[in-house]
Structure 1
Amino acid sequence: MANLKELRSRITSVSSTMQITSAMKMVSAAKLSRAQDAIDAMRPYAEKLTELLQNLSASLGDEQGSKYSDQRELNNILIVAVSSNRGLAGAFNTNIIKAVKRLAATEYKGKNVEVMGLGKKANDILKKSFEIYKNNNAVYDDLNFEATSAIAEDLMLQFSEKKYDKIVIVYNQFKNAATQIVMTEQFLPIVPDENQEEKNTADYIFEPSKEEIVEELIPKSLKIHLYKALRDSFASEHGARMTAMHKATDNATELRDALKLSYNKARQASITNEILEIVGGAEALNK
């Protein structure tokens, strides 16, 4: 009978867990819909702005280059790791942590590598292996362009003051609810598009001047770049969590059904044993 009590307890526990994971799946699905709409609406603007900036930058001479295009010897590297503040999202955060460690161990081996955490999960793990420049977990409390702009401005300042020679962003790019692609993109210095010369360049009329327009566009483009990465990561997080909770619910359902089957078999065996004992006792009395 103790075995039956244990099985009943496990069935109740698994059923409770299944309800929680199912609810989390529905919440993530609702948030994913809004996050996906936001990134889908933003991508064309961000891509067009980057294309325009590369077109203009390619037409400027080296002597007219921006301070954000300064190519120098790589000694100090900053990796911006974009993760989430919460877990239960499958391999979403683990993939970012692995990508950062792989970059530091291969491409930037022997360099002074620091990390800026945009998200609690990556920061908590990476601070054990790297020097943390800043922790900006609060950016997800209200993800908006103004908050992201402040972070981007700080990164631009650190690069222009030569604290860092290169800044890269590692984040999850949203493809669909089941697929997130780990991206590593160079934030600073700005690198001109190598294929720009092969593309058809438009003939623009500049007012007031090409140089002034570029200087105005570069900070805005960098802010948009970071904001898009955060929006991509935000949508990817909810997609990953929805998928993880869906799998967890399915697994809990299978486990609950298996436990119910075991419980019914044990109960049937217990009842059969009781019947046999009663019959055996009755036969003993008749003799």
Structure 2
Amino acid sequence: MANLKDLRNRITSVSSTMQITSAMKMVSAAKLSKAQDAITQMRPYAEKLTELLQSLSATLTDDQSSKYAEQREVNKVLVVAISSNRGLAGAFNTNIIKAVKYLAERQYSGKNIEVMTIGKKANDILSKTFEIHKNVNDIYDDLSYDNVAEIAEGLMQEFVDGKYDKIVLVYNQFVNAATQKVQHEQFLPIVPVESDENIVLDYIYEPSKMEIVLELIPKSLKMQLYKALSDSFASEHGARMTAMHKATDNATELRDSLKLSYNKARQASITNEILEIVGGAEALNN
């Protein structure tokens, strides 16, 4: 059995760790509330914008199709891996890394794959295996539509220039504080949607249908990337809050166990001392 000094040191260490994990849980819970409200309010708009764009795109002829919808033979793929800058979030970052490796080994096996990392954690691991096209770490310091739009514009231009034939987003979709789903989402080219001849869209377009589509497509792509980053941001805080909650519970359980061992050791030490005193006194009497 460990001596009393070692047990006291371990109890102090575990108690300090428990205070840190508890504080991190509260911080993540506060940030999660704001991030969750943002993604919940954004989703209906983003989904309706995509639905409107797909409805209009389905009615365009081939010669009217957007440059962002050009279907080419896939030789070079860019995977945009969205992770966090900090750890202690359970399997949040690990799941993204596994998903990227799965795409490279299964879905796009034999293709020329590059990775763009958004977040430090994915870059630290994936840079050992893949060619990193670009790494963005500071976007979470000010996660806004305007800042994300700059990144989206760069990706759109590289696709138009023919640098990549397909661009895929990999991120954690926020479900709730305890659940995040890894998503593989095609960013470019725009996923074609077949028109339903039974549905008649009787709209009056002002300006022309083509001008509306050309205006909506860049905006929709920027919103798609912004939604993915907002989803990931909320998922990160949910995952970290859950991980720190479990860590706090484990630290509490370990501390209680150590206290019990300490009390048993202390009681055994006191008992031994009493026995020694009684034995000494008995020897003097004899």
TM-score between the two structures when normalised by the length of structure 2: 0.98
Provide the residue aligned with 1:156 in structure 2: 156
Same amino acid, percent of matched pairs: 78
Q: In structure 1, what is the Cα distance between the partners aligned to 2:212 and 2:186?
A: 22
Secondary structure in structure 1 of the residue aligned to 2:270: helix
Alignment-derived partner of residue 66 in structure 2: 66
Q: Does 1:248 align with 2:250?
A: no
For 1:65, the aligned partner's letter is S
Post-superposition offset of 1:198:
7.7
Decide whether the 8 Å contact of 1:32 with 1:238 is kept in 2: yes
Aligned to 1:211: 210
- Provide structure 1 residue ranges, at least 5 long, that are not aligned to the other structure: none
Task: Report deviation, 1:199.
Answer: 8.2
Aligned CA distance change for structure 1 residues 53 and 17 (closer, same or farther; 3 Å): same
How many equivalent pairs are there? 286
Deviations 1:18-46 (A, max 9, x none): 00000000000000000000000100000
* Aligned positions of 1:4-19 closer than 5 A: 4-19=4-19
Taking the aligned partners of 1:193 and 1:58, their CA distance within structure 2 comes to 6
Match of 2:133 in 1: 133
Deviations 1:86-141 (A, max 9, x none): 00000000000000000000011111100000100001100111111111111111
Residue in 2 that maps onto 1:22: 22
Structure 1's 28 and 199: CA in aligned 2 closer, same or farther, altered over 3 A?
Answer: farther
- Matched position secondary structure for 1:33: helix
In 1, the alpha carbon distance for the partners of 2:199 and 2:241 equals: 42
Alpha-carbon shift at residue 202 of structure 1 (Å): 4.0
Mapped to 2, the partners of 1:257 and 1:286 lie a distance apart of 43
Flag the 1:123–1:183 CA change in 2: closer, same or farther, 3 A. same
- Name the aligned partner's letter for residue 30 of structure 2: A
- Superposed CA offset, 1:117-169 (max 9, x none): 01000011001111111111111111001110000000000000000000000
Change in Cα spacing, 1:199 to 1:183, as seen in structure 2 (3 Å) is farther
User: Match for residue 274 of structure 2?
Assistant: 275
Partner of 2:84: 84
Q: How many angstroms apart in 1 are the aligned matches of 2:196 and 2:150?
A: 34
Structure 2: how far apart are the matches of 1:210 and 1:170? 32
| Matched letter for residue 88 of structure 1 | L
**Offset at residue 200 of structure 1 (A):** 4.6
Distance 1:20 1:223, change over 3 A: same
Is the contact between residue 82 and residue 169 of structure 1 (CA under 8 Å) also seen in structure 2?
yes
Partner in structure 2 of residue 51 of structure 1: 51
What are the within-5 Å matches in structure 2 for residues 153-232 of structure 1? 153-194=153-194, 196-197=195-196, 200=199, 202-232=201-231
Report the secondary structure of 1:141's partner residue. helix
Distance in structure 2 (CA, Å) of the matches to 1:198 and 1:59:
10
Q: For the residues of structure 2 that align with 1:95 and 1:201, how far apart are their CA atoms?
A: 43
Cα distance in 1, alignment partners of residues 202 and 11 from structure 2 = 70
The question of whether the paired residues in 2 share the 8 Å contact of 1:55 and 1:201 is answered with no
Instruction: Spell out, residue by residue over 1:216-264, the C-alpha distance to the aligned partner (whole angstroms, 9 max, x if none).
Output: 1000000000000000000000000000000000000000000000000
The aligned residue for residue 146 of structure 1 is: 146
In 2, the alpha carbon distance for the partners of 1:203 and 1:7 equals 78
2:102 equivalent in structure 1:
102
Displacement of 1:209 in angstroms is: 0.6
Secondary structure class of the residue paired with 2:196 = helix
2:35 corresponds to: 35
1:267, distance to aligned residue in structure 2 (A): 0.3
- Relative distance call for 1:177 and 1:188 in structure 2 (3 A) is same
Q: Which residue of 2 is the match for residue 122 of structure 1? A: 122
| TM-score computed with the length of structure 1 as normaliser | 0.98
Aligned counterparts of 1:269 and 1:198: Cα–Cα separation in 2: 86
1:201 to partner: Cα distance: 5.6
In the aligned structure 2, how far is the partner of 1:126 from the partner of 1:199? Answer: 47
Task: Give me the CA root mean square deviation.
Answer: 1.3
Query: How many Å apart are 1:63 and its aligned residue?
Result: 1.3
